[in-house]
Amino acid sequence: MKKLLLLPILLATSGCIGGMHPHLNQSYLLREDAEVERFANPKLFKNLPELDGQVIPIAIYSFTDRTGQRKPSATQASFSTAVTQGADAYVIKTLADTGDGKWFRPVERVGIDSLIKERQLVRQMREQQLGEGAEPLPPLMVAGIILEGGIIDYSSNTKTGGNGARFLGIGPYQQYAEDQVTISMRLVSVQTGEVLTSVTVEKNLLSTSEGVTAFKFFDMATKAFEFDGQQTSNEAGSYAIRSAIETAVVELIKDGERKGLWRFKQKETTNEVK
């Protein structure tokens, strides 16, 4: 009789765990379409003022991982890094999309070696075909400021905890762990080398685990039944990096306006004649 009563409870609790996360839906796993979002946190740019002036050319040579952190593993040494090694792609994308492209104009510097080699090949081919009268390539666009920085810290398990309860050996539990990633970003003047403005942004990554356990003895404690169901959800590290970069870009824009590096466009007001 006890077994019959226990079975519906376990089925119900395991069913709840299975429905906690949409990724467990097979139809979701079979989707092939990719969702493309301009920003990880669009609200940051919703009320961002427009630039009063021409678009600012900006160069990004690198925005690398300087933490040296590896993915934490309790069983074996991991050679995978804890954070992305391609954060410069997020920086370039964010700068290019800020204000619908009316704030910054990124110029290629991450792949500058490949760019220069390709320009040399073009010049050589033109000279071979047209001789000395070959039309030269236009000069590369130069930037007035350079964006420097990188991912400077990654701390694992800055906060951990959880809770749970059991009645008659059956009950749910919850656990969580929090990591923290820190990025630094600064603008440097090409003419003077002066650091015009600098910001540091921290972003938390939350991991949660929810489940249910059951442990019962039957037949005069000669037989045991044990059940454990668990669902874990980890916030994507790429989302945290993107969100931190976008926050840093917005803060650089605001701080640059306060320091007089550029000005916000004032909204035009119309006076209605009554």
Strands 64-65 and 145-164: parallel
Name the amino acid, one letter, at 170. I
SS3 142: coil
Phi, psi of 4 (to 5 degrees): -65, -35
Residue 61 pLDDT: 92
Q: Are 186 and 209 in contact (CB under 8 A)?
A: no
Q: Are 94 and 48 in contact (CB under 8 A)?
A: no
Residue 178 pLDDT: 86
33: its two tokens: 């379409």
- What is the rounded distance in angstroms from the CA atom of residue 213 to the CA atom of residue 227? 5
Buried b (16+ CB within 10 A) or exposed e, 18-35: eeeeeeeeeeeeeeeeee
234: its two tokens: 């980890």
- What is the rounded distance in angstroms from the CA atom of residue 265 to the CA atom of residue 50? 5
255: its two tokens: 């701080």
Residue 74 pLDDT: 54
Cα four-point dihedral sign 61, 92, 153, 250: positive
- The residue extents of the domains of the chain are 2-25+37-72+79-258
Instruction: Find the length of the chain.
Output: 274
Name the amino acid, one letter, at 86. G
Long-range Cβ pairs for the range 79-82 (8 Å, 24+): 82/154, 82/156, 82/237
Distances in whole angstroms, Cα of residue 103 to Cα of each of 63, 109, 268: 20, 18, 19
254 class by beta-carbon count within 10 Å (0-12 exposed, 13-18 middle, 19+ buried):
middle
- What is the rounded distance in angstroms from the CA atom of residue 30 to the CA atom of residue 33? 9
Task: Return per-residue pLDDT of the chain as tens, 274 residues.
Answer: 444 445 455 445 445 544 444 444 444 444 455 555 778 888 888 889 999 999 999 999 989 888 877 766 555 555 567 778 888 999 999 999 999 889 999 999 999 999 999 999 999 998 888 887 788 889 999 999 999 999 998 887 778 888 888 777 788 888 888 888 899 999 999 999 999 999 999 988 888 888 888 877 777 777 777 777 888 777 777 888 889 999 999 999 999 999 999 999 887 655 554 4
CATH code reported for the domain at 2-25+37-72+79-258: 3.40.50.10610
Q: Are 196 and 257 in contact (CB under 8 A)?
A: no
For the entire predicted model, the pTM comes to 0.74
- What is the rounded distance in angstroms from the CA atom of residue 169 to the CA atom of residue 238? 40
SS3 226: strand
